[in-house]
Amino acid sequence: MISLNNVSISFGELQVLSDVTAHFPTGETTAILGQSGAGKSVILKLLVGLLKADSGEVSVLGTDLGSASEEELYTLRRRLGMLFQNAALFDSLTVAENVAFPLEQQRPRPDSKEIADRVAEALQSVGLEGFQDRQVSDLSGGQRKRVGLARAIITRPEILLFDEPNSGLDPITSEAIDALICTMKRELGITFVVITHDIVGALKVADHLCMLHDGRIVEHAPIQQFLQSEHPVVRGFLNRNVSIDAQGGIRPPTIEEIRG
């Protein structure tokens, strides 16, 4: 359903992705991990057609994004939802207007009652019932992300993409967002792709983990297999953030482990 085959892209002289090949299974959640600047967000932008690969093939829901026309691209995007890093809400609109925005732009436009019902339903599923008339500028970081998520799911997409869902949030709000993603995953049963550098969050929400380093995929495997990886980048990432016991269970590192 989502595949990248030998994808490379560079900005000027900076090679961001080199020969990346990956397939994200349908109906499952894949988290793409990596340090800042590893090229994670570029993958997401390739998947929604905001960037075009210099070489290789990017295919989403059967559409080859390299050769798709503008119309085909917009048709595909109507089947996707995306939560942006800073939610990318429109400050001049209320919460309800933001969430309703994708529906308002549909042709034919659903009637006002249906839009209001679906906004209420989407806000309820992200735990913000009754927030319709609030101004976006009055919301906290976590609430903005929830509104962004409500906007992403209102069109009932087939694929949901998350760009750093935990960035800029405190640990408790971060955990709440992870829990929300898990709930969504169960309720919607669709394909999720999560870009993150938060390994703990990724372990909570993902079925598959994909580690990106210097524009290349160094590990891509189901969680348990990923945890056994001997690749130094993967080990470095895991050892800083989590501890794995003899039975393969995951726990936070102890203070001694953190302080070395």
Partner 1 sequence: MRILEAIIGAFSSIGRFGIFSFRFLKVMFRHRPPIRRTLNEAYRIGVLSLPVLLTIAAFVGTNLTMQGYHAFKPMGGERMVGMFVGLAGVRELAPIIAAAMIAAKVGTEMASEIAVMRIREEIDALSVMAVNPYWYLVTPRILATILVLPALTILSIYGMLVASYMVAVYQLGLNGQEFIEFLQRGATVTDLAYGAMKSIVFGIIICLVSCYCGFNSKPGPRGVGSATNSAVVTSAVVCVMVNYIISELVYGR
Binding site for partner 1 (CB under 8 A): 45, 48-50, 74-75, 77-78, 80, 82, 84-86, 88-90, 101-102, 105, 151
- 67 and 58 in contact (C-beta within 8 Å)? no
Which residues contact residue 120 at a Cβ distance below 8 angstroms, ignoring those fewer than 6 apart? 129, 132
Query: Side-chain half-sphere of 98: how many Cα atoms within 13 Å?
Result: 29
End-to-end CA distance of the chain: 43
> Which of 102/141 has CB closer to partner 1?
102
> Which of 49/201 has CB closer to partner 1?
49
Based on the number of CB atoms within 10 Å of its own CB, is 137 exposed (0-12), middle (13-18) or buried (19 or more)? exposed
> Which of 26/86 has CB closer to partner 1?
86
Q: How far is the CB of 106 from partner 1 (least distance, A)?
A: 8
Q: How far is the CB of 71 from partner 1 (least distance, A)?
A: 10
Q: What share of the chain is helix, strand, coil (3-state, %, to 5)?
A: 40, 25, 35
Block residue for tokens 């069109």: 155
Copy the structure tokens of residue 90.
């429109």
Q: How far is the CB of 101 from partner 1 (least distance, A)?
A: 7
Nearest alpha-carbon partner for 53 in 112, 1, 6 = 6
Q: How far is the CB of 137 from partner 1 (least distance, A)?
A: 12
> Which of 91/256 has CB closer to partner 1?
91
> Which of 50/182 has CB closer to partner 1?
50
Residue 36, CA distances (Å) to 42, 114, 149, 178 in order: 11, 41, 23, 20
- Give the SS3 label for residue 186: helix
DSSP one-letter string for 97-126: HHHHHHHHTSSSPPPHHHHHHHHHHHHHHT
Q: How far is the CB of 77 from partner 1 (least distance, A)?
A: 4
> Which of 98/229 has CB closer to partner 1?
98
Q: How far is the CB of 139 from partner 1 (least distance, A)?
A: 14
Length of the chain: 260
> Which of 94/101 has CB closer to partner 1?
101
Q: How far is the CB of 159 from partner 1 (least distance, A)?
A: 11
